Amino acid sequence: MSEAKESEAIRSIEEINEKIKRGDAVVLTAEEMIKLVESSGVEVAAKEVDVVTSGTFGAMCSSGVFLNFGHTDPPIKMIRCWLNDVPVYKGLAAVDGYLGVTAISETKGIEYGGGHVIEDLVSGKEVELRAESYGTDCYPRRHIETVITIDDLNQAALLNPRNCYQRYDAATNSTDRVLYTYMGTLLPNYGNVTFSGAGQLNPLCKDWNYQTIGIGTRIFLGGGIGYIIGEGTQHNPKGGFGTLMVQGDLKQMNSEYLRGASFYMYGATLYVGVGIPIPIINRNVAATAALKDEDILVNIRDYGVPTRPDLRPVIKQVSYAELRSGKVAIRDKDVPSSSLSSYKMAREISEVLKKWVLEGKFFVTKPVEPLPRQREFKPLKIKRKELKVGDVMSREVITAKPDDGVKEVARKLIEKGIDHLPVVDDKTRLIGIVTSWDLARAIANEKRKLAEIMTRKVITALENESIDVAVRRMAQHNISGVPVVDKTNHVIGVMTTDDISKKLIGGRTAV
Partner 1 sequence: MRVKLTYSHEVADKPILADIILKTGLLINILEAKVNAQKGELVVAIPASGKKLEETLAVFKEAGVQVQKFTTVLQIDNKRCTSCGACISPCPTKALKFDSDWAIQFDEEKCVACKTCVAACPVKAITVP
Using CB under 8 A as the criterion, which residues of the chain lie in contact with partner 1 when the complex forms? 57-59, 180, 184-185, 187, 192-194, 259-264, 269, 271, 326, 336-345, 347
CB of 347 to partner 1, least distance (A): 7
Query: How many angstroms separate the CA atoms of 10 and 282, rounded?
Result: 5
Nearer to partner 1, 41 or 326 (CB): 326
| Contact of 253 with 260, CB cutoff 8 Å | no
Q: Using DSSP, state whether 494 is helix, strand or coil.
A: strand
| Contact of 244 with 173, CB cutoff 8 Å | no
Q: Using DSSP, state whether 217 is helix, strand or coil.
A: coil
* HSE, side-chain direction, 13 A CA sphere, residue 195: 33
Which alpha helices (H) appear in 86-230, and where do they start and end? 114-122, 203-206
Question: Strands (DSSP E) along 33-85, which ranges?
Answer: 51-53, 56-59, 64-68, 80-83
CB of 319 to partner 1, least distance (A): 17
CB of 266 to partner 1, least distance (A): 9
Q: Which amino acid is at 221?
A: L
Active-site position among 61, 138, 164, 205? 138
Nearer to partner 1, 97 or 273 (CB): 273
Residue 298 β-bridge partners: 318
Q: Kindly tell me the sign of the dihedral angle through the C-alpha atoms of 416, 422, 423, 425.
A: negative
61 is catalytic: no
Nearer to partner 1, 202 or 460 (CB): 202
Nearer to partner 1, 50 or 293 (CB): 293
- What contacts 51, CB < 8 A, 6 or more positions away? 16, 20, 25, 26, 27, 28, 277, 278, 279, 280, 354, 357, 364
Nearer to partner 1, 315 or 418 (CB): 315
Count of beta carbons in the 10 Å neighbourhood of residue 143 = 10
Cis, peptide link before residue 74, omega less than 30° from 0: yes
Query: How many angstroms separate the CA atoms of 96 and 69, rounded?
Result: 7
| Contact of 128 with 112, CB cutoff 8 Å | no
CB of 503 to partner 1, least distance (A): 36
Nearer to partner 1, 160 or 341 (CB): 341
CB of 355 to partner 1, least distance (A): 18
- What contacts 27, CB < 8 A, 6 or more positions away? 49, 50, 51, 52, 53, 277, 354, 357, 358
CB of 342 to partner 1, least distance (A): 4
- The catalytic site residues sit at 138
